[in-house]
Each structure stands twice: as structure tokens, then as C-alpha cells.
Structure 1
Amino acid sequence: MLAIVIPYYKLTFFEATLQSLASQTDKRFKVYIGDDASPENPIDILGNYKGKFDFIYHRFETNLGGVSLTQHWERCITLSYDEEWLMILGDDDVLGDNVVEEFYKQYPVFYSNVNVVRFSSKLIDYSLGKISEVFTHPVWESSSEFFQRKLKEKTRSSLSEYVFSKSSYLKCKFCDYPLAWHSDDMAWIEFSQDKQIYSINEAQMQIGFSNLSISGRNDNLDSKYSASLAFYKNILKKYSQIFSKKERLEILMKYEILIKQSRKLYREEWLFLISHYFRNFSIIPFAKLCRRILIAYR
């Protein structure tokens, strides 16, 4: 069975999320709502949905998301029982009516072959009242292929549009980056465990975007920057083997450019780059790196 876990904090768009759950054409799921000591009590709204789908609500007495959002996700997951598959649904995100139906319809195709399933998606800009085009994916795709598409800004991704096996989650857990920025990206590399990602394009998730969401705010750019640096460095240190040499060089360049967007590189960062360029030696990229180092230390 499928567990849908909602780390709740914001009431503003929550009813749309609940309505989308009530509208599912297949009710074979259970919802677990973990309230992160929110000042906005959802009890009255939840009362309107009793009997419309199966859910458990639990209020945590301390706020954890402000310290570590991934740890709040994880304590919300502990509310679930013996479900084999998990979805973490944002409290401002919406399921298309047939998301659960298509999950079970296509289950025989993917269940023994993957640990990660994703749906097509749209972005809802609540501030402007706009909905984006539909983002679809190859039905079968490796995590490295997906990473490259996202690196080149040919696609997008958010936590809510994924379903993952509980066994893969328990083995890996989430990387604890600031604001959980890129924590989902790292999860799909780790949770997939060398298996492909399976895409269901026949059902859509609608991902909320506003000045209340982490992705839509501009007062957290320093934390996002720190998270991005840590993410790309971890990719290079732990998972470079899943990429080709050409792809590794592209990731190295991305990491260097990312640092330079805010400041000059530190000595240890140049040394890190030198070591990785040497391991993936190609004369022109290595020569260009040496030139950039000379310019930096003039």
C-alpha cells in the first residue's frame, strides 16, 4: 500500500492539497500528517475531510523544520506503518485525480525493477495565478541521466512528485542540507541504488510556488547557496563513478562556476578541483583550469 506523508506547516493552500486527496479515483492510500508545531491549526479543515480518505493527524510539540527540514520529514515518516511505498507531499502541492490510480495501474510494470517512481508535473504560481506547461520524463531513466538533464536545465524536479520504496529510504535516509535544498536531488541518486527511475506521465502533480515557499522566497539565498555547494561537492566525492568522464568534467565546471557566483575560490577548493581534473585528465580542460588558477593568483 501507499503512504502519503504530509509535513504540515502552512494553512494557506492546505485545503487544495486535502481536496486533491479526497478526489482520488483510487483510495488505496493512507495519509499521515505531521504538524511541525505550526501556529496555524488545521484541525477545523481536517474535520471537513473525515471519511473522505484515510488519514492520521499528529501534532509535534516542537518545531524541527526550522532547524532541519529533512529531520522533520523523517519524523513524519515514522508516523507511517507497514506501507512499502512512500510519497512526501508538500502542504501546498496538489495531486491530479488519477495519480494513485495510475500508480497501481502501472505497478506490475515497475514494482520489482525500481525503488523510485515519479509523476509528470506542473508548477502552480499562486502569486500570479499561473500554471506552467507539463513536464514529462522518459519512462525509464537512470539517476545519472536525470541529473544531467537537470544540470543542463532541461527539466525540473520537486520532492512531492516522487514515490519511493520504504526499504531504500531506510537504507539511505535524506542528506541534511540547509533548507533541505537539493536533499531530494541527492535522494533520487541514493534511493535508486543503481536501478532506473520509472516515470508515470499519464498523471500529474501540481507543485505550489509562492512567496511562502522555500523555492519562492528570496530571503534564504545564502542557505540555498551553501546547500548547493555541499550537494555538488558530495556528488563529485561520492558518486562520480556513475557519470562518464565528459559528464564529470561538466559537473566540475558547474561546481567552480557556482562558487565564483558569490566569491573567489579558496586554496583548498582549487586543490580539490586539481585532484578531480587530474583523475579525469583531458589536456584542454586541465590546461584551462591551470590558466584560471594562474589568473586567480596574479
Structure 2
Amino acid sequence: MLAIIIPYYKITFFDETLKSLSNQTNRNFKVYIGDDFSPENPSELLKKYENKIDFIYQKFDNNFGRSSLTKQWERCIKLNKNEKWLMLLGDDDVLSENFVETFYNKRLFFEELYDVVRFSVIKIDSKTNPISNKIQNIEIESSKNILFNTMRSSLSEYVFKTSTVNKIGFKNFPLAWWSDVLAVLEFSNFNDIYSINNSYVKVRISELSISGSSNFEQQKEKSSYLFYNYLLLNKKKYFTYYEIDFLLERISKRYLNNRSNIKLFYKISATYFKNGKFIAYFKFLNRIIKSIFYKCE
């Protein structure tokens, strides 16, 4: 019924991840570990959990993560044996002991109505110390809230209907930055998602993770542009007039953060024109002028 899929690369926190799986109060799940040709062999660690977790381990012959994390996710998903639901769990994240139990306890509330289920989150650091309170969600909420209200999301906090994932797939952005958010939007068809708050995922923010590192800012900016541009050009029908203004505001920041990128300026200008937002475009130009004068001062 439930596949827990781990795209594996780093061993540093992997023992904690596996331990949280071995401690589940409901054992009705299967774990699939897809090794992205990692130099950190987990074989000895996996032996420790052979009789504690029902898992399949596959070491791939080449590395996808350096060029496309989403392709690594998708080949890991192909390992599953047609479980109806799946989650992609980071190799440094941790599940609460009742995670699987609450998934099944709540199943009747979401199984036929929703394709995306979201769990509460506690952010942790490299020493597994909490750096946030438990972040809870509205039980039934629009998936668009991730963009317009909460402005936070992590792949590990979701369970998806397998058939929907296989049908739509993941959009390949650099570092898969925003690929998870777009997946939630598309897998839910921009409609509601169901949230479970009495269990949680501990999502790790550390210097070893993309989200916790400051080494990828240029790639993150590129992904942000590609994400918002994709929504504006391909998914416009799902957004209101004012929501489109918000998306244009977000995409314009990509250029304001890097005014030397003239090609990006032309691309963003074209996006404004394609959406018929001429007044908003002049406001965008005005912000550029003001930022130039501010820098000169």
C-alpha cells in the first residue's frame, strides 16, 4: 500500500533515517533505496537493518544527481512494486514513529478524494536539534497555499498517489529547486491537498543539503525563474488575476537580483507581454530605474 523511496547519496545521517523506519509502529510499508552511484557505500549499515526493515537496495551504475536530481527520483520510483501510494524520503530526514500508523488511520478521509497527502514538519540541524516548532498545516487546503501563504515546502513531507506520479512525472529544474513544489501543484491538479498533523517528518537543514548550503545561489536563481515562467506560460488558467501579478512580482526579482543578465531581462519582459500585464511591466521598469539610482547614491 505504501512505498517509502529513498534516493540515496550521503551516508552521514542515513543511520538516523533508517532507525526512524525501523521504529515505525505500523510495519505495513516497503522501502526502496536507490543508490545514485555514491562513493559512500551503505552496505555495512544496511546489514544492521536487514531484519528490521523490509527494503530493496539498488546501486545504480551511473550518477544522475549531478545533472538531474529529478531523473534520479524517477528511476528510484521505478523500483517500487506498484504500491498505491509513495513518498520520496531524503537520506538525511527522519520520520516520527507513528508516521505510517497515522497514514493508515486517516486513509478513509483522503484515499478517494486526494492525490497528495501532506504531513507536519519539524526542521532540524546537522546535530538533529530542532530549529523550528512543529509546523502544522490546514487539514484541507489549496495546493497553491505553498506559493501564496506558507512559502515553504520539502519533498519528504508528502505522500503521493503512485498512478498520478507515473502519469505526470517531475519537471527538471537545476538542483530540482522548485521541482518538488511544482509536483505538488501538478499532482493535485492545482486543487486541494489533505494534511495529517498528528505525525511529522523531521527535515534536516545542514551545510550538506542543497537547501542549507549557500554554494548554489546562481543555480537556485535560474530554477526560480524557470519555475515561475513555467507557471505563467503553461498554467495560467489555474491562477486569478491577482495571483498572476504575484507570480510576475516573483519572476521580476530574478532580474533585480542580477541586473547584469540582459538576456534574462528580455525573457522576463516577454513574459509580461504574453500575459498582457503592461501596467505591471512599467512598474517593473520603474523598480529597475530606482535600484540603479539607489546603487549610484
Provide TM-score, normalisation by structure 2. Answer: 0.91
Cα contact 1:64–1:71 (8 A) shared by 2: yes
Aligned AA for 2:275? H
In 2, Cα distance between the equivalents of 1:64 and 1:158?
A: 20
In 2, Cα distance between the equivalents of 1:271 and 1:63?
A: 36
Change (3 A) 1:215 1:296: closer
State the match for 1:244 in structure 2. Answer: 240
Matches within 5 A, 1:102-251: 102-126=102-126, 129-150=129-150, 153=151, 156-251=152-247
Change (3 A) 1:268 1:207: closer
In 2, Cα distance between the equivalents of 1:59 and 1:268?
A: 40
Aligned AA for 1:70? T
State the match for 2:85 in structure 1. Answer: 85
In 2, Cα distance between the equivalents of 1:286 and 1:272?
A: 10
SS in 1 for 2:135: coil
Aligned AA for 1:170? N
Change (3 A) 1:297 1:149: closer
Aligned residues: 290
Change (3 A) 1:194 1:247: closer
Q: Give the unaligned 5+ runs of structure 2.
A: none
Q: CA deviation at 1:134?
A: 1.1
Q: CA deviation at 1:293?
A: 7.6
In 2, Cα distance between the equivalents of 1:236 and 1:30?
A: 38
Q: Does 1:270 align with 2:269?
A: yes
Cα contact 2:252–2:284 (8 A) shared by 1: no
SS in 2 for 1:131: coil
In 1, Cα distance between the equivalents of 2:290 and 2:15?
A: 55
In 2, Cα distance between the equivalents of 1:297 and 1:271?
A: 22
Provide TM-score, normalisation by structure 1. Answer: 0.91
Bigger Cα displacement from structure 2, 256-265 vs 57-66: 256-265
Identity %: 44
Aligned AA for 1:222? Q
Bigger Cα displacement from structure 2, 210-219 vs 97-106: 210-219
Q: 267, 284, 288: which one pairs with 2:283?
A: 288
Cα contact 2:116–2:187 (8 A) shared by 1: yes
Q: Give the unaligned 5+ runs of structure 1.
A: none
Q: CA deviation at 1:297?
A: 11
State the match for 1:74 in structure 2. Answer: 74
Change (3 A) 1:80 1:220: same
Q: CA deviation at 1:34?
A: 0.6
SS in 2 for 1:46: helix
Q: Does 1:24 align with 2:24?
A: yes
Change (3 A) 1:273 1:293: farther
Q: CA deviation at 1:250?
A: 1.3
Q: CA deviation at 1:131?
A: 3.1
In 2, Cα distance between the equivalents of 1:174 and 1:198?
A: 20
Q: CA deviation at 1:84?
A: 0.7
Cα contact 2:251–2:268 (8 A) shared by 1: no
